[in-house]
Structure 1
């Protein structure tokens, strides 16, 4: 059972994260300091660093929540599902339940706004892409384990995840440029782009 002290710590962390995201969206990442965030929550910068290693970790914390939800969904998929089916259903399930995870900390609009900040801030975008690569390696190893394969000798888990990850990156880019910054819009684009994987890889692209 969660103790009163643990609940208080979680409330402080959530307040710091919510304030950081609001400031990043309003002022920009470079225009916000740790001191600004700490002052707004009425805590010391030292307290901020008890919860986050720095501004970058706070800026990417919502993304980490989303990734953790997705990894959990992948682990929970039935073993009988083909790998690409499991990845597809896991990502759609994650989008379906992401609202409740994100809204426990910030409004969904702030999550969407933070995504745009990451896309437009080189240092955050580089960190985001690096973490994406780490996540893809984690998923490849998860797929290999569930399929009884050696990920270091059988290329299929990494190939499958590379294809899937590529689709998700294209989807994120088009979502950011679409003007529809809702999670529902992102989910719809995800479905539409995943439906194109088979034809894109194996079909004839030339107009008939």
Structure 2
């Protein structure tokens, strides 16, 4: 059971996180200081650093939670599923859990706005790509373990994750520049794009143009 001290620490962290994302999305990541974040919650700069190593950690805190949830979902998929199917089902069937994870920290609307801020801020976009590469390596190793292969000798785990990760990045880019900026929209777009992977890789695109 959560103690009063633990509850107070959790609330302080959530308040700092929400204040940080609000400032990042309204006045810009580069123009926001740690002092401004701390001041918005009426705490000291020292208190901020008690919860976050810096602005970047705060910027990606909720995303880190959703990534951890996805990795856990992949690990929990039935062993008989093919690797790409396991990845697909983990992201689509885990959508409600991902929403709950976000809502436990900040409003979903704020999380979605932060997505756009990451995409339009060079330093955050670079960090996002770096973090994505690390997550993809974790998943590749998980798939290799699940399939009983050596990830360093068999290229298939990394190839599967590279394809999957590419689809997710294309989906995010299309969704973040579209008009329907909701979780339901990105879920539908993700499902649609994943369904097209097979034909995109092995199909004859000329036939599609002639239809």
Normalising to structure 2: TM-score of the pair? 0.96
Q: Which residue of 1 aligns with 2:11?
A: 11
Q: Which residue of 1 aligns with 2:180?
A: 180
Q: Which residue of 2 aligns with 1:167?
A: 167
Q: Which residue of 2 aligns with 1:198?
A: 198
Q: Deviations over 1:53-86 (max 9, x none)?
A: 1001101111111111111111111111110010
Aligned partners of 1:13 and 1:80: how far apart in 2? 40
Q: Which residue of 2 aligns with 1:146?
A: 146
Q: Which residue of 1 aligns with 2:56?
A: 56
Q: Which residue of 1 aligns with 2:42?
A: 42
More off after superposition, 63-72 vs 118-127: 63-72
Q: Which residue of 2 aligns with 1:89?
A: 89
Aligned partners of 2:18 and 2:112: how far apart in 1? 13
Matches within 5 A, 1:76-155: 76-155=76-155
- SS of 2:30's partner is coil
Q: How many residues align?
A: 208
State the 1:98 CA deviation.
2.0
Aligned partners of 1:106 and 1:171: how far apart in 2? 23
The runs of 5 or more residues in structure 1 that have no matched partner are none
Q: Deviations over 1:77-126 (max 9, x none)?
A: 11111100100000112323222211122111100100000000000000
Aligned partners of 2:11 and 2:37: how far apart in 1? 15
RMSD (Å), alpha carbons: 1.0
- SS of 1:178's partner is coil
Q: Which runs of 4+ in 1 moved over 3 A?
A: none
Q: Deviations over 1:25-69 (max 9, x none)?
A: 111111211000101111110110111110011011111111111
Normalising to structure 1: TM-score of the pair? 0.97
